[in-house]
Amino acid sequence: MSSVVTLPDVTAIRAQFPILSEKVHGRDLVFLDSAASAQKPVAVIDAMSDVMRTQYANIHRGLHWMSERTTEAYEAVRGKVAGFLGAPSREEIIFTRNSTEAINLVAYSFGSLLKLGQAVLVSAMEHHANLVPWQMLRDRSGIDLRIIPITENGDLDYDALEQMLGAGDVALVAVTHMSNVIGGMVDARRVADLAHASGAKVLFDGSQAVVHRKVDVQQIDADFYTFTGHKLYGPTGIGVLWARRELLEAMPPFMGGGDMISTVTFEKSTWAPVPHKFEAGTPAIVETIGLGAAIDWVESIGFDAITAHEKQLVDHAARVLPEVPGLRVIGNPEDRGGVFSFVMKDIHPHDMATLLDRNGVAIRAGHHCAEPLMQHLGLTATARASFAIYTTEAEVDALVSALIRIRDFFV
Amino acid sequence: MEVEDLYNSMIVSRSRAPEFSGVVADETNHAEGNNPLCGDRVRLTLRCEDGLIAEAAHQTRGCAICIASADILAEAVAGQAVRNALQMADQFVLMFENEDAGGVLPGNLQIFLPLRQHRARIRCATLPWIALKEALAHDAE
């Protein structure tokens, strides 16, 4: 029996995103900036609006009907996220504001358990979110921070990682699961196996990866995994940290306040069990429920269809982008998610972005919160086109023809 | 493509072939403008004599708008009294908030006005002028 993956009905999917029928400068919106933040389907918009219209109160504290129903809806999302990540337990899911906060939590809390003489490894292609918190930990605690190089194609240099782990003092390898600039997927299982063989833990920043691939934290043998809701068609203000229970139990709280305590006296407090130990204060209730709706929505399409659609787009873009004279795609990773960074001879990425915008095409230009990577590549900025489940080949073609017109205009 | 109103032909030509790039001889004033958000960088050098800007030049790494703005600045301030140049700088920055403020500026500085529709790019045009104000900060006292 052959397994045929049915491509998703992108027209039907697009109809679920009200914003995609908006005009920009009088033209149809071609939104190729989903890696920065994705647009939202009606299912997410309605879930958030419904909870505020019909079923809202603070959670974990009210003894009344509204609070109990809202608590149930909020906690149900914890279970959805656990299922989404293949996590063994819903209690290992910590809600944060975004992936950045999740990594800061680990850097602060797990970081406080590290000893002088131990090291953290990050890669040369990290988003600032997975670099700056570790620099802050290094400056605070004196641990060592080392950078795993990338290959010329823009893949993680696994041989270099193996060598670096040979030093024997590495406590944690913290790397992106998919580069937000080059677009390459990291072989997470390979990183985890290498790290574990030398006694190190491993954290993956999954902000980009969870949008494009099915992630199973047990299959990749991760210790920590983070992602953010707003790139996954959910709202801003809600992110996720998953970590192994024994790690979470050994880690001190990150922030103090309501909801994260067991008992409080003026002299001392004791902590609530995980996950609540890490969730101080009233959380992003509405946004969490929105994230739940986003996960349901993504799972209703399914990652087989999502990945098949993306592969088709990536192959198409890889074919047509080089048709633009003077255009150079940055990196040639072995397994590319739906992200292309590129530069054009004699045209600055910001000029490209503004001129594309005049044609209704939204892309990102700049350093993409990865300045050290830009320095490594010898660039100050790139243009980046990124794809989502609602992206079409016609939109990639619109990008290419607009780039050709810009080139003619400028050169 | 409706770009001509924004990327005026002078912006394109002056960014492709700047006429005042480099460093002035016997510089008396200089300043650097950086936009960490996009990596644009302008280094401005001036030779001031008796309260006048005798010559200006720039070294700019950045987008077309930033390069053209620096180049047109160098042309516009040469021969101007320091006080006038500082006034031009204020008016240049102000014209993006208030269209009337640009009315007193030379026409080739007004070509940047369409940036009002592209707020994120105004900084590209004003960066050289902010550097000018810094370069002249002590002369103005």
Most confident of A1-5, A24-28, A353-357, A398-402: A398-402
pLDDT for the residue B3: 54
Mutate to test the interface with B, among A350, A357, A359, A379 (most CBs of B within 10 A): A350
Statement to judge: residues A376 and A400 lie in one domain: yes
A369 among known catalytic residues:
yes
Q: Which of B1, B16, B63 sits opposite A359 (nearest CB)?
A: B1
* Residue A377, domain extent: 10-31+302-410
Structure confidence by residue, pLDDT tens digits, A315-353: 999 999 999 999 999 999 999 999 999 999 989 999 999
Catalytic residue among A15, A369, A379, A404: A369
Statement to judge: residues A288 and A310 lie in one domain: no
Contact call for B2 and A367, based on CB within 8 A: no
A37 located within any domain: no
Statement to judge: residues A69 and A185 lie in one domain: yes
Statement to judge: residues A63 and A170 lie in one domain: yes
Sorted by where each starts, the structural domains of chain B and their CATH numbers stand as: 9-135 (3.90.1010.10)
Contacts of B38 in chain A (CB under 8 A): 350, 365-367, 380-381
Q: Which of A348, A358, A406 sits opposite B2 (nearest CB)?
A: A358
Statement to judge: residues A86 and A207 lie in one domain: yes
Mutate to test the interface with A, among B4, B13, B38 (most CBs of A within 10 A): B38
Structure confidence by residue, pLDDT tens digits, B5-61: 778 888 999 999 999 999 999 999 999 999 877 788 999 999 999 999 999 999 999
- Among chain B residues, the shortest Cα distance to A366 is held by B38
Decide: pTM greater than 0.90: yes
A392 located within any domain: yes
Which of A264, A299, A334 corresponds to the end of one domain? A299
Which of A274, A299, A324 corresponds to the end of one domain? A299
- Give the bridge partners for A227, in sequence order: A240
pLDDT for the residue B102: 67
Statement to judge: residues A162 and A185 lie in one domain: yes
pLDDT for the residue A271: 92
Q: How far is A405 from chain B (nearest CA, A)?
A: 8
Domain count, chain A: 2
Statement to judge: residues A211 and A240 lie in one domain: yes
Euclidean distance between CA atoms A276 and B34, whole angstroms: 44
CATH number of the domain enclosing A61: 3.40.640.10
Q: Which of B3, B65, B124 sits opposite A358 (nearest CB)?
A: B3
